[in-house]
């Protein structure tokens, strides 16, 4: 966890508080920067390449032993068909997060395409190919 102490002169000192051990405060030499990974392939790209066919390709995710079923519309909207999260979502991650009770979820890893033989292919692997 990072704390920022700012004075009236607009100088800020970042302090990182250790969560383990003796709990000492350690001044950070540089700001903590988180970068978001960007992938060139989007859900719409999978639709355009016919790896996902709107209204026909079944998606499934298993969470706590329950299979959640979903489909994708031609506009990329995810429709979850069962459970407390039943409804429409603008992204795979948002749908997964709702299913998981608000825990942030990477939808590309969470959701799988159901193949004709019943096997499951993670959407992340479709995006990689």
With contact defined as beta carbons under 8 Å apart, do 79 and 91 qualify? no
Domain coordinates in residue numbering, the chain: 1-34, 43-128
Q: Answer whether 57's CB lies under 8 Å from 72's CB.
A: yes
- Residue 58 β-bridge partners: 71
Q: Model pTM?
A: 0.69
Interval 66-90: pLDDT, tens: 999 999 999 999 999 999 999 999 9
Weakly modelled stretches of the chain, pLDDT under 70: 1-39
What pLDDT is attached to residue 96?
Answer: 97
pLDDT by residue (tens digit) across 37-46? 556 789 999 9
């Amino acid at each position: 966890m990072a704390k920022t102490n700012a004075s009236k002169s607009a100088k800020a000192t970042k302090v990182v508080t250790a969560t383990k051990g003796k709990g000492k405060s350690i001044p950070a030499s540089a700001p903590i920067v988180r970068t978001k990974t960007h992938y060139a392939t989007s859900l719409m790209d999978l639709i355009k390449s016919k790896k996902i066919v709107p209204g026909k390709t079944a998606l499934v995710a298993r969470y706590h032993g329950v299979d959640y079923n979903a489909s994708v519309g031609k506009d990329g909207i995810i429709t979850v068909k069962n459970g407390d999260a039943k409804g429409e979502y603008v992204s795979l991650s948002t749908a997964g997060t709702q299913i998981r009770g608000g825990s942030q979820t990477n939808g590309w890893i969470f959701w799988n395409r159901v193949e004709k033989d019943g096997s499951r292919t993670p959407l992340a692997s479709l995006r990689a190919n």
